[in-house]
């Protein structure tokens, strides 16, 4: 049988591009996200796509997602933890509700999905599977006025490492992809000009998100005794190495 992948944030951006690439690679793909209409746009007419509207911030909603995965497919081979959001503002200006919304989506949502995927991977036969977390390059280097997003993505790195250790006895691999300036709805603003660490506003280069999809596919299709722990993919000349 074809392998089964669950992708969160699959209605747009990186999630949509990765979903379509994995469908092309022969995966049965479960599309999760808050907006059913955009998930259906991703799915198109593909019989390999299953749309399951999901709010990753809700434990009940995530449990329902994986119950549907179990009911329809009986197993999961890949989780791409991709859903995320950002709210700009310095640490002095950010409202608590905005901090909480970002952490609930980016970190708690990733934890909830990883927990349910891990449980199914642990019990299914053959046992095991792979979890790939979208860390963003903000998991390494922050942008100005991004305390919530940066904190959430730094925490994703710790979650990735912890899942990697906990998964070893059960043939569950976990890695992280850190993406910088892919040309998506969110990333295209970089080309229009964004604040820099020195107080200026500069346009930054972007790159085709199809390359992200190829990177995720490479990570996903490795045998489970081999893992890409961390992979960084960026526009070559973006201000990341030496940022600030």
Kindly name the residue from 107, 149, 151, 173 that is annotated as catalytic.
Answer: 149
CATH number, domain with residue 78 = 3.40.50.720
What 3-state DSSP class applies to 79?
strand
Does 106 fall in a domain?
yes
pLDDT value at 200 more than 90 = yes
Q: Using CA atoms in the order 68, 149, 15, 242, what is the torsion angle rounded to 10 degrees? A: -150
Does 126 fall in a domain?
yes
Does 77 fall in a domain?
yes
Does 224 fall in a domain?
yes
What 3-state DSSP class applies to 166?
helix
Does 56 fall in a domain?
yes
Does 240 fall in a domain?
no
Q: At how many degrees (to 10) do helices 109-123 and 147-167 cross?
A: 10
Domain that holds residue 75: 4-234
Report how many domains make up the chain. 1
Does 244 fall in a domain?
no
pLDDT digits (tens, 9 = 90+) for 207-237: 999 999 999 999 999 999 999 999 999 999 9
Share of the chain above pLDDT 90, in %: 92
Q: What is the β-pairing status of strands 194-195 and 230-234? A: unpaired
Concerning whether 149 is annotated as a catalytic residue, the answer is yes
Does 239 fall in a domain?
no
pLDDT value at 244 more than 70 = no
pLDDT digits (tens, 9 = 90+) for 171-191: 999 999 999 999 998 777 888
């Amino acid at each position: 049988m074809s392998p089964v992948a669950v992708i969160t944030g699959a209605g747009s951006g990186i999630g949509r591009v990765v979903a379509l690439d994995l469908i092309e690679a022969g995966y049965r793909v479960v599309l999760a996200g808050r907006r059913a209409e955009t998930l259906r746009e991703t799915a198109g007419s593909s019989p390999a796509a299953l749309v399951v509207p999901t709010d990753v911030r809700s434990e009940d909603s995530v449990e329902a997602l994986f119950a549907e995965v179990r009911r329809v497919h009986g197993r999961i081979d890949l989780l791409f933890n991709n859903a995320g959001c950002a709210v700009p503002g310095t640490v002095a200006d950010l409202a608590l509700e905005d901090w909480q919304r970002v952490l609930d989506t980016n970190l708690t949502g990733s934890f909830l999905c990883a927990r349910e995927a891990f449980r199914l991977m642990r019990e299914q036969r053959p046992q095991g599977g792979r979890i790939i977390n979208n860390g963003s390059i903000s998991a390494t280097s922050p942008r100005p006025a991004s305390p919530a997003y940066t904190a959430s993505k730094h925490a994703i790195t710790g979650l990735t490492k912890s899942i990697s250790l906990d998964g070893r006895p059960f043939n569950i691999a976990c890695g992280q992809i850190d993406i910088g300036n892919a040309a998506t709805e969110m990333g295209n603003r970089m080309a229009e000009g964004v604040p820099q660490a020195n107080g200026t506003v500069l346009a930054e280069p972007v790159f085709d998100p199809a390359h992200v999809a190829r990177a995720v596919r490479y990570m996903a299709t490795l045998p489970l005794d081999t893992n890409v722990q961390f992979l960084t993919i960026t526009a070559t000349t973006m201000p990341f190495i030496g940022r600030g």
